[in-house]
Structure 1
Amino acid sequence: MGERESRQFHWTNLGNERLYKKYRDLGVISEDDEALIKEYIAEHESSKNIGGDRKHKIISSLVNWGRFLHMPYRSLTITEIYAAISRLKEYRDPKRGLPYRQNTLHDYVVSLKPFLYWLDENGYNSLPIKNPEDSAAEYRHGVYFSRWDPDEG
């Protein structure tokens, strides 16, 4: 067996648990945030048949969002999401001093959108975010929002 074949490629649940613990210990995510992410992942594993690598990428993105979101997922507001997206775009790697590349920025936003929609659909938050497939939704800053008419309250 070659070197490549003998290495483990896929993230295991143990690796994901270490990721949760690391970010929980750093205060980046709360236990409640972790529980919400786990529920979301469990639903996606069963309904969308995601594999280990995709699962890890989603988990990694959602726990990393905690560095830019300054409140728990249940308490998020549209204002905080906009501010977090701005912080993400302005972020500089402490070692290299470089910003995230466009692909990384895109990956972060793409992972957050369906999670925010899922939070709303499952009653964990009341963000005005709608399904991206909804033609009445408006796209701003990488997130689909329902159209809100201030005259309607």
Structure 2
Amino acid sequence: MARTISVNGGEHPIPKDPRTSLLDYLRHDLGLTGTKKGCDHGQCGACTVIVNGIRINSCLSLAAMHDGDEIITIEGLGTPDKPSAMQKAFLEHDGFQCGYCTPGQICSATAMLDEIAANWPSDASESLDGEIALSGEEIRERMSGNLCRCGAYANIVAAIREVAEAGV
């Protein structure tokens, strides 16, 4: 039985080398260069992708671990002709400067809104039960694993808030 990974809706074979990170598989084997290699230690978030609805650092995960999983990268969220609501909001709010961290930021923000919709608490949540209030503090806490060396944080928070309030 062939082992496969679904990436942005397409089926791909798991690499033969079991040591291949998910990040390297996406970039080198599949040519999806939107996902960036920043620190390669899981500290910067530039490599963030969505696996089965959960955001992960792809540099810390082996591709072989994802047999049957659904992976979404920045390329799977939208296209230049039809960007996602989050991609549009990042553009409208200038939520980037150099753009290197932007794909990871957008993937993380997209999955983060699903976490909030499911009422998953964070360290900034006022309660462990009930609806999560979308505050700037809540957004910043949840996005703390995604670093921006250019300091576009205020604009990133504004973009996320716009998408959340629009309910898209």
Q: TM-score range by the shorter chain?
A: 0.3 to 0.5
Query: Which structure's residues are more often helix, by fraction?
Result: 1
Say which structure, 1 or 2, has more relative contact order (CA 8 Å, 6+ apart): 2
TM-score where L is the length of structure 2: 0.31
Q: Which has the larger radius of gyration?
A: 1
Query: Which structure's residues are more often strand, by fraction?
Result: 2
